[in-house]
Amino acid sequence: MSRDIDDISNIVLKPRRIQILRLLLSQGTMRISDLRRALNAPASSIYYDVEILRANGLIIRDGPYVKITSKGRTIIEKIEGLVSSDQETEDSSNRTEELTNILLMRPLTINMYRLGPNALLIYSMVIIVLGLVTAFIQNYELLLLVFVEGVNAMPIGITIISILAYMGIALFIYKYLLGSEIVDIKLLSGILTSLIPLSLYPTIMTLLTPWLPPYPLSIIDALLKALLPLISLIMLATVLSMSSGKPMEYSLLFETLLLLIPSVIIYIILFK
């Protein structure tokens, strides 16, 4: 019963998810593209909501088709009398959700996800390896979330250790803090995908260094060191949220505690 209540709370906070369940309850099996047209929402938003509902066992997805489960049917029937169907409230909530969708760059992550897990795994590995090769050539080392110019005191292989630590912490959050069990190629490819922004730092700096004077280059360097890790963490939170069915805020909180704050502390200790 407590699990059902958790599911209800998770859905009620997102009116569009209730609309999806209502449509599936009345129409039966539907294509995701049909849901998008019926709700007049971006494909990335519908895909994200579908994945959250699927992870919570409220719908089943079979390729482009989705249908409601008996659990989802029970949930929507329970909340029909509790949730207001006021159109103005739903429209306002959906506009807020769309703004959140853009700020959290979900379209980027979700559109990459739509390549399929195998293609995405290969694509991610190629970009990450190219970034690491560039980092090695240009003498950059990765300290968990921040690339720095090589320092003699760095342990050998610290970049590889940092990547393995990133993936290990992501899996730890997924399994033990978010309480999910299934680890598959889709999850692993998603975690690797979230590393792409971070791995672009050496390439970007290598391309810009010959053309820019030191002062503007130092500003760009600081911006990249701040923004690229944040983009990676936001993408990771989207991946973990879609895979676990838990609110994205949980993933962001755990990532901040276990990845972002330790990276900042290490950087301050070594370079300030």
138-193 pLDDT, tens digit each: 989 999 999 988 666 666 688 999 999 999 999 999 999 998 888 899 999 999 99
On the question of pLDDT at 1 being above 60, the answer is: no
Share of residues in the chain with pLDDT > 90 (%): 52
Q: By the 8 A CB rule, do 177 and 254 touch?
A: yes
> Residue 42's pLDDT band (boundaries 50, 70, 90)?
confident
192 contacts 236 by C-beta, under 8 angstroms: no
Q: What is the DSSP letter of 257?
A: I
Beta carbons of 88 and 53 less than 8 angstroms apart: no
CB contact at 8 A, 194 and 262:
no
- Quick one: average pLDDT of 187-206? 95
Q: The dihedral of CA 97, 99, 102, 107: what is its sign? A: positive
Q: Is the dihedral of CA 163, 164, 165, 166 positive or negative?
A: positive
Give yes or no for a contact between 65 and 29, defined as CB atoms under 8 angstroms apart: yes
Amino acid at 42: P
Q: Contact at 8 Å (CB) between 161 and 155?
A: yes
Distance CA 54, CA 243 (A): 9
What pLDDT is recorded for position 241? Answer: 92
Return the pLDDT at 182.
84
**Given this model, what pLDDT does residue 217 score?**
94
| Candidate from 42-56, 160-174, 193-207, 211-225 with smallest mean pLDDT | 42-56
For the ranges 28-32, 114-118, 222-226, 250-254, the lowest mean pLDDT is seen at 114-118
pLDDT digits (tens, 9 = 90+) for 60-115: 998 889 999 998 888 887 776 555 555 555 556 566 767 777 777 788 888 888 78
The pLDDT value given to residue 2? 46
Segment 112-139, tens digit of pLDDT = 887 888 999 999 999 999 999 999 999 8
Question: What average pLDDT does the chain have?
Answer: 85
In DSSP terms, 142 is beta-bridged to 147
Residue-by-residue DSSP string for 7-51 = HHHHHHT-HHHHHHHHHHHHH-SEEHHHHHHHHT--HHHHHHHHH
Say if residues 195 and 261 touch (Cβ distance below 8 Å). Answer: no
Percent of the chain with pLDDT over 70: 86
Q: What are the backbone angles phi and psi of residue 66, rounded to the nearest 5°? A: -135, 150
Q: Would the pLDDT of 7 be above 80?
A: no
